[in-house]
Amino acid sequence: MKNYSIPEHELMTAGHLACQGCGATQAMRFALKALGEKTVIVMPACCWSVIDGPFPHTAVQVPVFHTAFETAASCASGVKAGLEMKGDTETTVMAWAGDGGTFDIGFQALSGAAERNEDIIYACYDNEAYMNTGIQRSSATPEGAWTTTTPYPHTKSHPKKNIFEILAAHNIPYLATASVAYPDDMIAKFRRAHKIKGMRFLHVFAPCPTGWKSSPGSTVDLARKAVQSRMFPLVEVWSGRHFRVNKDIPQVPVRDYLRDQGRFGKLTDANIAVIEREIDERWRELLRKEEMGGPPPAEA
Ligand SMILES: Cc1ncc(C[n+]2csc(CCOP(=O)(O)OP(=O)(O)O)c2C)c(N)n1
Ligand code: SF4
Ligand SMILES: [Mg+2]
């Protein structure tokens, strides 16, 4: 008998409408493998509202509630409350939103749901811009990146918003980063989240070849290098305090991650040196928090 570490059962079908090599699509596939069919997805406006297909077609074999851009977290909270009123305490409700819908426009609803400790999973697939409407910069866009609203030579001048630390400051039961290049790790984190009650936040790094001007075949490679260069570290946090940082991943220079993406095509050595310094500072800060916070709960 074969012994796969990734569940074989597919809840995503062929025929979705994503571009070739879309990281967000792989992300959904892995998330559903972890959560299983007793899941309801709440989805605000984003690429995924298109990827899923026009009604009555759908690329996922679970119910999807399409909602307005700013309402993923409040709508998911309402769906969960409605299910509970009907006596269903088993179905998982997952808000599934892009970075624009999470870091920016849906942030108020997200912060409110986190503060109320709603019993939902909120997953943000982060492709680092408003892709569905034509690659506009969001607060998740990294410093130095080209987008249509940060055209050359005025590429994004501010660092990416640290949504992870902001959510950690809400002291929610569980939050984690994940990457489509590490499916075992990603599925383990969604499963861990599945078992915990209360607000859970998953921040999933999802390369977008269309918006990043990268080759569709390099999506997994880029996602891996983002982790290896510590641009996107793999971290978990329990109750806003107990950090666990994955330190076992071999490190590569951030230049290796940046170079295969057209959106970073005009970065100078000086720009890259600034990015490297920021990455080092953030990494040291994570390790400090891990040391200060003490060990995660025993069941982790
Ligand atoms: C209130 C509101 N403003 C703007 C839009 C237009 N809109 C739809 S999807 C989208 C981009 C979403 O970006 P993100 O959340 O990062 O998801 P992605 O498209 O990158 O997957 C925008 C601006 C909208 N639907 N509603
Ligand atoms: S634009 Fe990017 S995120 Fe959207 S479907 Fe295409 S590859 Fe995926
Ligand atoms: Mg986006």
Residues 6+ apart with CB under 8 A from 35: 92, 94, 121, 190, 194
Please write the tens of the pLDDT for every residue from 261-292.
999 999 999 999 999 999 999 999 999 999 99
Helix axis angle for 183-195 and 23-35, nearest 10°, is: 50
What's the gap in Å between 111 CA and the centre of ligand 1? Answer: 19
Percent of the chain at pLDDT exceeding 70: 99
> In this predicted structure, what is the pLDDT of residue 3?
67
Paired sense of beta strands 235-238 and 242-245, if any: antiparallel
With CA atoms as reference, report the closest residue to 97 among 59, 53, 130, 145: 130
- Give the pLDDT confidence of 135-176 residue by residue, as tens digits: 999 999 999 999 999 999 999 998 999 999 999 999 999 999
- Going from the Cα of 134 to the center of ligand 2, the distance in angstroms, rounded, reads 10
Query: Separation of 105 CA from ligand 1 center, angstroms?
Result: 9
pLDDT band at 96 (very low <50, low <70, confident <90, very high): very high
CB atoms within 10 A of CB 14: 6
Q: Which residue has the tokens 């996922």?
A: 60
pLDDT for residue 2: 62
Counting runs of H as helices and runs of E as strands, what totals does the chain give? Answer: 11, 8
pTM above 0.95, yes or no: yes
Encoded tokens for 286: 């994570």
Q: Ligand 2 atom 6: the closest Cα is on which residue?
A: 19
pLDDT digits (tens, 9 = 90+) for 208-259: 999 999 999 999 999 999 999 999 999 999 999 999 999 999 999 999 999 9
How are strands ordered across the β-sheet holding 235-238?
64-66, 39-43, 92-98, 121-126, 200-205, 174-179, 235-238, 242-245
257 lines ligand 1 (CB under 6 A): no
Closest CA relative to residue 128, chosen from 158, 154, 108: 158
Query: Strand 121-126 relative to strand 92-98: parallel, antiparallel, unpaired?
Result: parallel
Report the chain's mean pLDDT, rounded to a whole number.
96
> For residue 171, is it left (φ>0), alpha (ψ between -120 and 50) or beta?
left
